């Protein structure tokens, strides 16, 4: 059974970059194989990982819903769908990527989420780690796309609104009774020290950040040039912060294990 890490937060908070740097840490430390799941309808995790995505789950489901496929004789629609889902998986040494995307039909949000959850759950048995980059907001939680998670990273950018989003996600996790082993608030894209207003809001909401990810010119440049974040040097400020965070996560796992 894979160790499941999910990244959630408001749009523009740096979720995809954080997910990519988590994958970088896990991969570089030999904790493979890894399944990366891009559950954001605006899919770009593949670009951050340097992997080319040609098909998504949403596109595949569009074909099935529109009955555009000729199913081979003797094969059920469900069996053929399972076969085709495996072709959506992008494989690379030590790291595979599953991209949800979105279709064009009326069921383009709920149905792909249901399918990707079931398929990812089945796939995860073959991996040491699963890292899921979720869509912006909290819809994935209310649809229970993110559940049975070992580490849920709640990401805010350097803003009061982002911190409040973390608090709302925490409330939703509690109200839905989702199975989350540990919740780890993260403040990303911090220019130097935390602004006093952000610190005040964290104190008011009783949120203790597990990590503060600084602004990183190297990461920005890699994104601008569409270079894989897996290739960022160890000297990168963001890499160092995420490596420290993952060290804390794995230490918590060790101390909490029976």
Q: What is the pLDDT of residue 28?
A: 96
Domains of the chain from N-terminus onward: 3-256 (3.40.50.300)
Q: Mean pLDDT of all residues in the chain?
A: 85
Residue 209 has pLDDT above 90, yes or no: yes
Task: Report if pTM > 0.85.
Answer: yes
Interval 167-195: pLDDT, tens: 999 998 888 888 888 999 999 999 989 99
Q: In the chain, pLDDT over 90 holds for what percent of residues?
A: 51
**pLDDT tier at 142 (50, 70, 90 boundaries)?**
very low
Rounded to whole angstroms, how far apart are CA atoms 99 and 109? 14
Q: Which two tokens stand for residue 221?
A: 């440049």
Question: Picking from 12-21, 81-90, 163-172, which range would have the lowest pLDDT averaged per residue?
Answer: 81-90
Rounded to whole angstroms, how far apart are CA atoms 117 and 126? 15
Spatial neighbors of 185 by CB under 8 A, at least 6 apart, are 154, 156, 166, 207, 208, 209, 210
Q: Of 57-61, 72-76, 248-252, which one has max mean pLDDT? A: 248-252
CB 132 within 8 A of CB 146: yes
Between 159 and 142, where is the model more confident? 159
Q: Which residue has the tokens 């690379």?
A: 92
């Amino acid at each position: 059974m894979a160790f499941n890490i999910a990244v959630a937060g408001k749009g523009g908070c740096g979720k995809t970059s954080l997910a990519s740097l988590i994958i970088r840490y896990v991969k570089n430390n030999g904790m493979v194989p890894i399944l990366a799941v891009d559950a954001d309808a605006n899919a770009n995790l593949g670009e951050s990982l340097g992997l080319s995505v040609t098909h998504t789950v949403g596109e595949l489901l569009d074909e099935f819903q529109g009955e555009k496929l000729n199913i081979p004789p003797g094969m059920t629609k469900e069996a053929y769908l399972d076969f085709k889902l495996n072709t959506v998986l992008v494989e690379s040494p030590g790291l595979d990527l599953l991209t949800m995307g979105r279709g064009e039909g009326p069921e383009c949000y709920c149905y792909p989420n249901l399918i990707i959850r079931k398929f990812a759950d089945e796939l995860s048995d073959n991996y040491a780690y699963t890292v899921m980059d979720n869509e912006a907001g909290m819809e994935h939680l209310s649809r229970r796309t993110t559940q049975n998670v070992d580490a849920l990273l709640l990401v805010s950018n350097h803003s009061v609104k982002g911190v409040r989003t973390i608090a709302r996600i925490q409330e939703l996790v509690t109200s839905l009774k989702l199975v989350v082993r540990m919740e780890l608030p993260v403040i990303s894209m911090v220019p130097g020290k935390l602004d006093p207003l952000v610190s005040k809001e964290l104190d008011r909401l009783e949120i203790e950040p597990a990590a503060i990810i600084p602004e990183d010119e190297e990461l920005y440049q890699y994104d601008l040039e569409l270079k894989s974040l897996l290739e960022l040097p160890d000297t990168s400020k963001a890499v160092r912060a995420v490596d420290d965070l993952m060290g804390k996560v794995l230490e918590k796992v060790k101390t909490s294990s029976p």
